[in-house]
Amino acid sequence: MPRILIADDNQPNAELLEAHLDGGGYETRVVLNGEDTLAAARDWKPDVILLDVMMPKLSGFEVCQRLRAGAGTKTVGVLMVTALDQPTDVEKAVAAGTDDFITKPINKTELLLRVRAMLESRSQTTDVDRALAYMGRVQQGV
């Protein structure tokens, strides 16, 4: 069963994401700050992390950079979840190493599409192949 880690300091937002994923055949876990996100990524080994950008202790940008630098976490799928929507925010997310981002308010259909596409693309062996597979699946509406 695929594991989805939800990292959001706002409990209602985390619960909404968890509710959207419920019934999809996923095992979910919620963490409330950046440090706990890194610990859960190392110890629980999720397949995908839904990562809020604005969190206490470490921002989502910093968490993503550290995930990408870690030997055991560099290939985990990261979807940044944010209310930020400026081009500079997108650039920071890409520079941090996110695979993609979705903006709040979260659309359930869009979330499920991107999670499924992310999970399916993880079987590719290189970063470029994973990115291409992910983008193709999102465009197809898998």
pLDDT tens digits along 62-90: 999 999 999 999 899 999 998 877 778 88
| pLDDT of 109 over the 80 cut | yes
Q: What is the largest CA-CA distance in the chain?
A: 37
Q: What angle do CA 22, 55, 35 make, to 5 degrees?
A: 90
Q: What is the pLDDT of residues 83-94, one digit of tens each?
A: 877 778 888 888
| pLDDT of 14 over the 90 cut | yes
Please, what sign has the CA dihedral across residues 104, 105, 108, 110? negative
pLDDT band at 42 (very low <50, low <70, confident <90, very high): very high
| pLDDT of 142 over the 70 cut | no
Given this model, what pLDDT does residue 56 score? 87
| pLDDT of 125 over the 80 cut | no
Q: Which CATH class is domain 3-107?
A: alpha beta
Nearest to residue 73, comparing CAs of 106, 107, 49, 109?
49
